Structure 1
């Protein structure tokens, strides 16, 4: 099991305030995946924005790419920090959803970040919360500002930070970035750096950022900005969103889906178990 998977297991079982402790989970390839409806997932996320818990809530989408990077089949990057946020791991991707159904006997919904972000922002707007974004390019800052002000005018857009890869590898630079986010008083931070960097960033710097909720939501920054379109609903329902994205971005995604995906799928289909609550 990787450092992050171990941390996720520990935090799932030891969420001191009971926020996640009452939520059932199944172990898939060493990662506890929480079993919730969309409404319960959003309620849990929004509840974390109102708590003064010692540690923030981090939300991860569990799909084959996540399994590839963080499961116990050997592909991982060790993490420097082991006492970061509490991890709330949501079903994402058809193979994960199918395995969850196989284990639990219940059809839990897929909860992709791209589906959750709009209802989360709607709830955040009702509560007059502040939103920050890490990731994407500086070209989308204006697009994000326009979209948020148009569709969620009562949200305070606290800032958009777009570190490049060299900056992400600089611990001092990232500590400074986290300090800037804390100074901006961000309630909900979207971390859209792609796997595994976004989860690693949250684990290492999320606590320093001061955000109550950190969403590891990958391409959501581009969806919000209107630069990337989601697959049609019928494609998503049939479990072929990966093929749709592969057709749109073959050079970037071919390795993920065609090389890394099959071993991750085999890891998912390994012997599962329920995570103790």
Structure 2
């Protein structure tokens, strides 16, 4: 995929979205409701752009990894729109920019807003990723919460080779308005890069990280007060210390440095 600046289709489709450069990435200055409205608007036939729009999200860990992993950086820069899924990004933007981020756009929160609007508009979802049990539980819970939402298919994210290519072609034939891809960074971004040419009937691809784990109920969100002050990472370390402690010890300081010294005001 092309970097967004060299991608005329994605650039034209998102031309009206304000952005700021924060921590080395250009982030959309949209709140959750505005992001959901944009996603709804972009899937109607007259707004389709000949390929799926690619939306992803960045937090402190993503900023740190983009600064040290060229492939990850390239995959994120290819996105048509990047939301800020991290309260520290919002806080720093309020200190550093005359056009700050209005709020954190967490994918877990955004999903519910888009689902509500898609249900009303009779738009369709496909949910791809996580393991079979997590995927099935997530879809079942979503259908309970949104009984009229049209979920045209689902699949775990452990397919490879010909089986994966066949599944991608099956998804394209189902032509969902929204394909939620939950494989983790950078695998879900690499999935978008590889398979966008085969998914021309899809409206929007939204990378989703650990979304399905929250939807299934297997993982709990941090208390709201911790989310509000940017400490959700501490909650996650408490839940999964062996997996996450070293990751955050190495990425958080770098992310803070990037936010303070690699951010620019609008127009940069």
1:66 counterpart = 2:57: no
TM-score (norm 2): 0.87
How much has 1:74 moved relative to structure 2? Answer: 2.7
1:54 counterpart = 2:50: yes
Measure the CA separation in 2 of the matches of 1:81 and 1:75.
Answer: 10
Q: Please, which of 145, 158, 162 is the counterpart of residue 156 of structure 2?
A: 162
Contact 1:65 1:260 in 2 (8 A): yes
Q: Gaps spanning 5+ residues in structure 2: where?
A: none
Q: Please, which of 67, 88, 93 is the counterpart of residue 100 of structure 1?
A: 93
1:134 counterpart = 2:128: yes
Measure the CA separation in 2 of the matches of 1:145 and 1:65.
Answer: 27
Q: Gaps spanning 5+ residues in structure 1: where?
A: none
Assess, with a 3 A threshold, how the Cα gap between structure 1 residues 156 and 7 changes in structure 2: closer, same or farther: same
Q: Which has the higher helix share?
A: 2
How much has 1:276 moved relative to structure 2? Answer: 4.6
Measure the CA separation in 2 of the matches of 1:152 and 1:26.
Answer: 34
Measure the CA separation in 1 of the matches of 2:164 and 2:139.
Answer: 23
| Alignment of structure 1 residues 13-24 onto 2, 5 Å | 14-15=8-9, 18-24=12-18
SS in 2 for 1:53: coil
What CA deviation, in whole Å up to 9, does each residue of 1:4-29 have, x standing for no partner?
Answer: 8x714444xx4568442122211224
How much has 1:265 moved relative to structure 2? Answer: 2.5
SS in 2 for 1:239: coil
Stretch of structure 1 that moved more, 153-162 or 222-231: 153-162
Q: Please, which of 270, 273, 277 is the counterpart of residue 261 of structure 2?
A: 270
How much has 1:162 moved relative to structure 2? Answer: 1.6
Assess, with a 3 A threshold, how the Cα gap between structure 1 residues 205 and 274 changes in structure 2: closer, same or farther: farther
Q: How many residues align?
A: 264
Assess, with a 3 A threshold, how the Cα gap between structure 1 residues 87 and 16 changes in structure 2: closer, same or farther: closer
| Alignment of structure 1 residues 65-214 onto 2, 5 Å | 65-70=61-66, 73-77=67-71, 87-105=80-98, 106=100, 108-164=102-158, 167-168=159-160, 170=161, 172-209=162-199, 210-214=201-205
In angstroms, what is the RMSD of aligned CA positions?
2.7
Measure the CA separation in 2 of the matches of 1:275 and 1:191.
Answer: 30
SS in 2 for 1:146: helix
Residue in structure 1 matched with residue 26 of structure 2 by the alignment: 32
How much has 1:119 moved relative to structure 2? Answer: 0.8
TM-score (norm 1): 0.84
